[in-house]
Structure 1
Amino acid sequence: MIQRVYEQAKKSSAISVYVATDDQRIFDCVKSFGGDVVMTQEHHPSGTDRLQETAERLGLGDSDVVVNVQGDEPLIPPEVIDQVAKNMFQSGASSATLAEEIEALDVFLNPNVVKVVCDAEGIASYFSRAPIPWPRDAFSKFPVDSSAQEDSEKVFQELRQNITLLRHIGIYAYRVSLLKKFVQWPMAPLESTECLEQLRILHNGEKMHVEQACLAVPGGIDTQQDLDSIRKYLSQSNSDG
């Protein structure tokens, strides 16, 4: 899986691609297929902290931009990696990420799906595991936890006609200068409550640009079912090719 993620990242316009890990098995794996890898410390509380150590070890400058691609996304499109990096340069924000539209009520209500709302300039206002924005008056008539599923679905579709509901995609671009600040900041109260590290950035007054991904981003591998699905997809793709 790590090799596939690495190979997808190498197809992007990145100047260089590294795997950052604290696991000797992953380190040896990357070396075995000729990839570049950085061994980091074990104690990092988040991927952003690990990224900062990696940037420091590589001697990157404050104005350099790094993209954090999760190691469990073997189907990540290289075009998406280029997109978030380009946005980082063009937006003037100190970080950038991507999102995609939510089209189903169960996804909107799922706490494992992180939602994001933005201002008129595409700057993130808030990330949450809760369904946001919440149409107070409409859903008060048809509670989503009631048996009136049909009514709830109707309200949800009406909401979609007025607002683009966004699911956050876990890919980030950062300026190295922001990474240096991030590791010095204490965990923010909202970050602790939601278990979302990007809220530390907003809490400290920094901007994160958000745009809808230019291509669909398949979900990462979090469960055995996810792994089985990816294997089936890759098997079919290889046979079709």
Structure 2
Amino acid sequence: MKILGVIPARFASTRFPGKPLVDIAGKTMVQRVYEQVKKATLITEVVVATDDARILEHVEGFGGKAVLTSVDHPSGTDRCFEAYQKLNEDFNYVINVQGDEPFIKPEQIDLLAALLNGDTFIATLVKEFKDQESLFNPNVVKAVINVKKKALYFSRSPIPHARNIEEEAWLSQHKYYKHIGMYAYRTDVLEELTKLPVSALEKTESLEQLRWLDNGYEILTAETKSETIGIDTPEDLQKALAYLKENPE
């Protein structure tokens, strides 16, 4: 099974411009993500897909592989597909590893890759919620999965709703899942996804994966026990630096 790891890295971020090149204790964010993906044992090749020559040159400067992609892509999924096309190599799957997850664990990537057997269309990771604040935070995406570990729905709201139970007790009554936004796509499915129009569910929740569910694509999940630290704002960067102090390399 040949699996391509793609790290989408845009320079122009509304909340944190230049984010991929920000320094995190001596290494840029994009370098940290790249090195973590390279450690995954089930990944065949890794490439950064960027829209900016500065990021391209930086990645090549530390010995990484990168391709320049369009500035007009509406999502990381579209950027991943262009990167896959530009490499012009045969891969069975593409794994989209978020470029703002500098502490993603290689074991998490391998956990996702282990789901890819040729029959799986799309796969992603979930993690059990442990704190109420995150459960009710609309910026933290929730996933509902069935007994076969396939996603039923994703939402910014805490679902399912625990009827007649105080919110403080929800986590003790049901196992709620946080969505970890790393995706694996079978390459033919990835091409199909890039051609789908925006769906009503996607537009309502502002969640791209709902477009796929809306169009009948199954999303298989695996549960990780490891936490992730995404960096969306300069404030998140401070949390990341604090994490490094507590967990030195």
Q: Which residues in structure 2 correspond to 1:206-225 (within 5 Å)?
A: 206-213=217-224, 215-225=225-235
* 2:196 is aligned with 1:185: yes
Partners of 1:29 and 1:158 in 2: how far apart?
Answer: 47
**Aligned pair count?**
220
- SS of 2:116's partner is helix
Which residue of structure 2 aligns with residue 143 of structure 1?
A: none
Q: Matches of 1:84 and 1:168 in 2, distance apart?
A: 13
Shift of 1:217: 2.8
Counterparts of 1:20 and 1:86 in 2: how far apart (Å)?
23
**In the alignment, what sits opposite 1:156?**
170
Task: Say whether the 8 Å CA contact 2:213–2:219 is kept in structure 1.
Answer: yes
The answer to whether the aligner puts 1:23 opposite 2:38 as a matched pair is no
Q: Is the 8 A contact 1:60 1:176 kept in 2?
A: no
Deviation at 1:158, TM superposition (A): 3.7
- The unaligned stretches of length 5 or more in structure 1 are 139-150
Post-superposition, which runs of at least 4 consecutive aligned residues in structure 1 deviate over 3 A? 235-238
Partner of residue 78 from structure 2, selected from 39, 49, 53: 49
Structure 2 gaps of 5+ residues are 1-28
Percent identical among aligned pairs is: 44
Partner AA of 2:167 in structure 1: S
| CA distance, structure 1, for counterparts of residue 181 and residue 62 of structure 2 | 26
Task: Write the distance in 1 (CA, Å) between the matches of 2:55 and 2:242.
Answer: 24
* TM-score where L is the length of structure 2: 0.84
1:205 to 203, 209, 216: 216
Structure 1 or 2, whichever has the larger Rg, is 1
Which structure shows the bigger proportion of residues in helix conformation?
1
Q: Give the number of the structure with larger relative contact order, counting CA–CA contacts within 8 Å between residues 6 or more apart.
A: 1
- Post-superposition Cα deviations, 1:19-42, rounded to whole Å, max 9, x if no partner, equal 000011111110110100011011
**Residue 117 of structure 2 corresponds to residue 89 of structure 1:** yes
- The one-letter amino acid paired with 2:170 is F
1:235 shift after superposition? 4.2
What letter matches 2:117 in structure 1? F
Match of 2:63 in 1: 34
Instruction: Quote the Cα distance in structure 1 between the aligned partners of 2:240 and 2:93.
Output: 30
Residue 236 (structure 1) shift: 4.8
Match of 1:105 in 2: 132
Letter in 2 for 1:71: G
Aligned-residue RMSD, C-alpha = 1.6
Give the residue type in structure 2 aligned to 1:98.
Answer: L
- Measured in 2, the distance between the counterparts of 1:183 and 1:97 equals 17
Q: Is the 8 A contact 2:56 2:68 kept in 1?
A: yes
Q: d(CA) in 2 for partners of 1:9 and 1:135?
A: 38
Query: Are the structure 2 counterparts of residues 65 and 166 from structure 1 closer, same or farther at C-alpha, using a change threshold of 3 Å?
Result: same
